[in-house]
Amino acid sequence: MNESKDTALFSREVVFTAIKDSFIKFDPRIMVKNPVMFITELGALLCTFLVIFSKADRFNIQIAIWLWFTVFFANFSEAIAEGRGKAQAESLKKTRTSTVARKWTGKTESRINASELKLGDQVICEAGDVVPSDGEVIEGIATVDESAITGESAPVVREAGGDRSAVTGGTRVISDRIIVRITAEQGGTFIDRMIALVEGAKRQKTPNEIALSLLLAGLTLIFLLAVVTLKVFATYSGALAGQDLSSVITIPVLVSLLVCLIPTTIGGLLSAIGISGMDRLIRKNVIALSGKAVEAAGDIDVLLLDKTGTITFGNRMATRFYPAPGVNEVELAEKAQLASLSDGTPEGRSIVVLAKEQFQLRGEKFHPSQIEFVPFTAQTRMSGVNISDQGSVHEIRKGASDAVIKYVTNLGGKTSPELKKIVDEIAMSGGTPLMVAEGARLLGCVQLKDVVKGGIKERFAELRRMGIRTVMITGDNPLTAAAIAAEAGVDDFMAEATPEMKLKRIRDEQEGGHLVAMTGDGTNDAPALAQADVGVAMNSGTQAAREAGNMVDLDSNPTKLIDIVETGKQLLMTRGALTTFSVSNDVAKYFAILPALFGALYAGGGLHGPLSRLNVMGLGSPESAILSAVIFNALVIIALVPLALRGVKYRALGSEILLRRNLLIYGVGGLAAPFIGIKLIDLLITKAGLV
């Protein structure tokens, strides 16, 4: 996450709105959905009543105020998490302003309001028009500015047929003309859904969140019982000791104890954690269509990755020159460069670049008028140049080895067994040998290879430590696939893969209990995307693919899958860490409040009975002890808001190390922190004379 974006979140405007929303959230009808905070609010209400109608001493007033703050801080954390999404939603809504659609019936064109469009209608979009709704290009090709949703200013090409046929409502056509068939109902467009998602309006609790809520509600109930019965036990114990404890064990004190014990920290931050998880994805330009998908992302243990674009740069590139016996490497490079000068394919360009990089050759020896380009044809399976130099013509050719050998032998040249060996070796290692000849003379060959992206091998090793298996999907033959798989360090590969095989592979993995994630863009990827537990559709892909997946990557960057998994894990870890922290905090709070309640029991008229020995923190007075615990409890919520929003730092380590690290920080830390915090607050408020 980048720092500047993070600070922007706490901009004055967002904070302002969040404060306003926090007050709205005091509504008990909203609050009741969160039992932990609902109980806290009831407690605050009860104390306020007591202050107003019964006993308005300084202590009770302060308790009531801090209880309200506890609720407020929890509301604030949720509001600010939502606020981040809302800001994003606002900018999206601007694209939804009423547009005019040019409806096309096949013969005539009529102008109607975009909101009147129906499923299956066809519309015409020309340069300057805003695409009125989601649809599929059925005729033509155009460049489209999608910056409204992707934030990316470079326009993209959309064309009928193929995998780039989807257009999104709200984007702008900047050149040419297309006919679009509408594929989304009004209110159900991609932008509509995005707005709903980022606003949190349609946010449903995820399965794990529900389970955690149940646990928190259970803990709340247990502590409620413990505190309610404690009143009875205390009164009775007082009677047994011949003391009247009713002035010490008052309702505000018991409410304080209850609020300190119930898991307010996690209860208050739980929904903020969930919202910010989706929010973090949005800021990585990934739209998760449900919170459930984000959670599932954390559980993924098999990644299906397309080779092209994810593991390798899209195209094969020249990586080395192998001269034939008796040929100088520089000569081979020079001739290969010449043969490729007019070749616009990526492979051709890469040969030019390699020759330049290795031998500083620039191909400027001949004037362009001397060079005649011989393009690639399916018949010759070669391309090259004819260079007229001082009356003679040099025919330089490059192409598949069998084609070039045939060409050379036809011209009466000889093949070289050494070169044949090199060709085989290149093929074995997953590369493509490209042979170069000048006339009847074999010069050697160029190794073309899929170049594996830098750092990807380390990334896969990292994934392996996280317990995630990577499977490379490629259309290559098994030999090539195996070589690239080995080089990239993936765990498994699928060669000559078809969409059906992908789907079957996903089903098989799921049968075995694995959770599978994959990316895809084409319509034929749609079934597999739908079947995968996390299916990330590329925004550049077809409408079918975007409908089938449960996430859309606006950047259309397949490597993003790894980030998505990390975000899912981070979300779950944050939840676990804060729950652990919250529960282990209770120990210290007991040591603060119980001696305050029972310190005077059996004191024989004095202040320090046997149980005052539990006051290990040496807190100033019973009142300051209770107040400090309540203040700490409230402040810890607001102090942890940034952590809840940003998420616990995730490192790709084995589960055992991760667990020990987090246990140390949030478990042991959770035990220790309140001892220190409560003591400090106690010193402060005693010094300030608040109690």
List residues with catalytic annotation: 306
With respect to another protein, which residue has the nearer C-beta, 363 or 667? 667
Burial (CB count <10 Å: 0-12, 13-18, 19+), residue 319:
middle
Q: How many CB atoms lie within 10 A of CB 303?
A: 25
In angstroms, give the least distance from the CB of 294 to another protein. Answer: 11
Burial (CB count <10 Å: 0-12, 13-18, 19+), residue 573:
buried
Tell me, what DSSP letter sits at residue 327?
Answer: -
Q: Nearest-5° angle of CA 504, CA 508, CA 509?
A: 120
Q: Which two tokens stand for residue 491?
A: 């765990």
With respect to another protein, which residue has the nearer C-beta, 301 or 347? 301
In angstroms, give the least distance from the CB of 217 to another protein. Answer: 8
In angstroms, give the least distance from the CB of 560 to another protein. Answer: 18
Q: Which two tokens stand for residue 653?
A: 């380590």
Q: From 641, 518, 458, 542, select the one nearest 9 (Cα to Cα).
A: 641
With respect to another protein, which residue has the nearer C-beta, 183 or 213? 213
In angstroms, give the least distance from the CB of 271 to another protein. Answer: 16
In angstroms, give the least distance from the CB of 237 to another protein. Answer: 5
d(CA 296, CA 278): 12
Contact 682, 311 (CB under 8 A): no
Tell me the CA end-to-end span of the chain in Å, nearest whole number: 44
Q: Please report the sign of the dihedral spanned by the C-alpha atoms of residue 30, residue 33, residue 34, residue 36.
A: positive
Residue 55, classed as helix, strand or coil, is coil
d(CA 417, CA 57): 102
d(CA 454, CA 229): 64
d(CA 412, CA 422): 22
With respect to another protein, which residue has the nearer C-beta, 180 or 630? 630
With respect to another protein, which residue has the nearer C-beta, 14 or 572? 572
With respect to another protein, which residue has the nearer C-beta, 56 or 228? 228
In angstroms, give the least distance from the CB of 305 to another protein. Answer: 17
In angstroms, give the least distance from the CB of 637 to another protein. Answer: 19
Q: From 302, 359, 345, 331, select the one nearest 510 (Cα to Cα).
A: 302
With respect to another protein, which residue has the nearer C-beta, 213 or 542? 213
Q: String of b and e for 395-415 (b: at least 16 CB within 10 Å)?
A: bbbbbbbebbbbbbeeeebeb
Contact 100, 664 (CB under 8 A): no
In angstroms, give the least distance from the CB of 646 to another protein. Answer: 15
With respect to another protein, which residue has the nearer C-beta, 207 or 325? 207
With respect to another protein, which residue has the nearer C-beta, 467 or 478? 467
In angstroms, give the least distance from the CB of 159 to another protein. Answer: 41
With respect to another protein, which residue has the nearer C-beta, 232 or 688? 232
Q: Which two tokens stand for residue 534?
A: 């996390």
Identify the residue whose tokens are 């922190």. 673
Q: How many CB atoms lie within 10 A of CB 606?
A: 10
Q: C-alpha distances in angstroms, 646 versus 266, 291, 292, 551, 573?
A: 15, 17, 19, 21, 12
Strands (E), 531-662: 534-538, 551-553
Contact 391, 363 (CB under 8 A): no
In angstroms, give the least distance from the CB of 106 to another protein. Answer: 51
Contact 303, 468 (CB under 8 A): yes
d(CA 196, CA 183): 19
Pairing outcome for strands 156-159 and 135-145: antiparallel
On the CB side of 263, CA atoms within 13 Å amount to 28
